[in-house]
């Protein structure tokens, strides 16, 4: 659905996007993740055709965005970071006005507006001024205008920015539902939002795409070792020493001790699953094995490992 090939964008001497390439397939929900100033908004504006790239090509549905007919842009729905509402208009008037700007035929306009009102849950505030709505409902109005001409591609820039926790959950749920019907690309710096809504993650840092893939594939490629957590019970028997002597084990660290129960983090060589060895060694020593599981990286671990690299260390991590 989206193909970005060697795209760069400069503003004078400032290179905001640097040789970025990726593909998002039809029906995928992808999250563009990165710290503030990473170039996320610039990249989204390039994909929506807001301005042209300095280098490279962007294709939507197999067509070059800059060379295609204007009808191609009707496949794109866009919610900007700063939701451009007219606060002196009601939600109803704003949506009808936007439908007119988007070229929705007069005979289909009412049906289109009511479809997005129902989809975005705007019925209770349909005739209220947008300037008097809560931030959550304002974002819903913004989503509704992006959906007016039923686009195949929905691009959302910081869709939960400034919302309270309840509103974030509401908008996140709505995005998940919309993702079942179309391709979605959203940008954010909120890590849980990406993990809960996106099948694919793109990490941008200092204008470069430094990683792409699922959370699981990124974890596998970034981890330099395997980690396991174990909980045991019984009198101390110097388990740190005999566990660390097992083949493939690099380090054993005590994380918690309470009475005769202890939790350890065991680090082993990359690609080496030592769980069966750990279990046998613990049980043979007369200790009780309460839990034994692989330690999971969360998205925060992955993100911090990537964005704290020096620029010269950048190497795009992808699924392929």
* 3-class SS string, 149-208: CCCCEEEEECCCCCCCHHHHHHHHHHHHHHHCCCEEEEEECCHHHHHHHCCEEEEEECCE
Report the CATH architecture of 2-220: 3-Layer(aba) Sandwich (3.40)
Distance CA 202, CA 44 (A): 12
What backbone torsions phi and psi does residue 254 show, to the nearest 5 degrees? -75, 125
Residue 38 to residues 16, 32, 84, 208: CA-CA distances in angstroms? 8, 10, 22, 8
What pLDDT was estimated at residue 73? Answer: 84
Residue with tokens 């890590």: 191
d(CA 33, CA 259): 43
CATH code of domain 224-294? 3.30.70.3100
Q: Are 318 and 251 in contact (CB under 8 A)?
A: no
| Tens-level pLDDT at each residue, the chain (320 residues) | 899 999 999 999 999 999 999 999 988 999 998 888 889 999 999 999 888 999 999 999 889 988 888 888 888 999 998 898 999 999 999 999 999 999 999 999 999 999 999 989 999 999 999 999 999 999 999 999 999 988 999 999 988 877 888 888 888 888 888 888 889 999 887 777 787 788 898 989 889 998 888 877 777 776 667 889 999 999 988 888 889 999 999 999 999 999 999 999 999 988 788 999 999 999 999 999 999 998 766 666 777 777 766 444 444 555 54
Q: Is the pTM here over 0.75, yes or no?
A: no
> In sequence order, which residues have a C-beta less than 8 Å from that of residue 170 and are 6 or more positions away?
136
Closest CA to 232 of 288, 194, 190: 288
Cβ pair 54, 212 in contact under 8 A: no
Q: In whole angstroms, what separates CA 169 from the centre of its chain?
A: 15
Q: Which pLDDT belongs to residue 246?
A: 92
Q: 302 CB contacts (<8 Å, ≥6 apart)?
A: 203, 211, 215, 218, 219, 222
User: Whose structure tokens read 């195949």?
Assistant: 152
133 DSSP 8-state letter: S
Distance of CA 4 to the CA centre of its chain: 17
Instruction: Note whether 139 and 122 are within 8 A (CB).
Output: no
Cα–Cα distance measured from residue 104 to residue 100, given in angstroms and rounded to the nearest whole number: 6
Rounded-to-integer distance, Cα 97 and Cα 74, Å: 16
Residue 9: which residues within 8 A CB-CB, separation 6 or more?
15, 16, 17, 42, 43, 46, 51, 53, 54
43 within 8 A of 20, measured Cβ to Cβ: yes
In the chain, residues under CATH classification 3.30.70.3100 are 224-294
Segments of the chain assigned to CATH 3.40.50.300: 2-220
pLDDT at position 153 is 93
In the sheet that holds 261-269, the strands lie side by side as 249-258, 261-269, 225-233, 288-294
């Amino acid at each position: 659905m989206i193909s970005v090939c060697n795209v760069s964008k400069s503003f004078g001497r400032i290179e905001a996007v640097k040789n970025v390439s990726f593909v998002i397939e039809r029906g995928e929900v992808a999250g563009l993740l990165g710290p503030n100033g990473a170039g996320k908004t610039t990249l989204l504006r390039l994909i929506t055709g807001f301005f042209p790239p300095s280098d490279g090509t962007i294709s939507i549905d197999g067509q070059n965005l800059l060379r295609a007919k204007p009808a191609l842009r009707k496949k794109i729905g866009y919610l900007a970071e700063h939701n451009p509402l007219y606060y002196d208009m009601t939600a109803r008037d704003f949506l009808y006005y936007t439908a007119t700007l988007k070229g929705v035929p007069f005979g289909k306009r009412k049906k289109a507006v009511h479809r997005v009102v129902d989809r975005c849950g705007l019925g209770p505030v349909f005739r209220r001024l947008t300037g008097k709505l809560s931030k959550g409902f304002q974002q819903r109005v913004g989503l509704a205008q992006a959906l007016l001409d039923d686009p195949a591609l929905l691009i959302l820039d910081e869709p939960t920015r400034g919302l309270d926790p309840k509103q974030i959950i509401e908008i996140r749920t709505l995005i998940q539902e919309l993702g079942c019907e179309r391709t979605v690309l959203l940008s954010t710096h909120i890590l849980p939002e990406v993990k809960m809504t996106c099948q694919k993650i793109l990490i941008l840092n200092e204008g470069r795409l430094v990683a792409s893939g699922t959370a699981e594939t990124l974890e596998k490629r970034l981890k330099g070792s395997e980690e396991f957590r174990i909980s045991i019970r019984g009198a101390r028997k110097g388990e740190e020493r005999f566990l660390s002597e097992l083949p493939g084990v690099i380090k054993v660290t005590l994380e918690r001790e309470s009475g005769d129960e202890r939790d350890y983090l065991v680090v082993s060589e990359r690609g080496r699953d030592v769980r069966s060895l750990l279990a046998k060694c613990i049980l043979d020593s007369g200790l009780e094995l309460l839990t034994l599981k692989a330690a999971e990286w969360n998205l925060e671990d992955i993100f911090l490992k990537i964005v704290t690299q020096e620029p010269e260390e950048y190497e795009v991590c992808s699924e392929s």
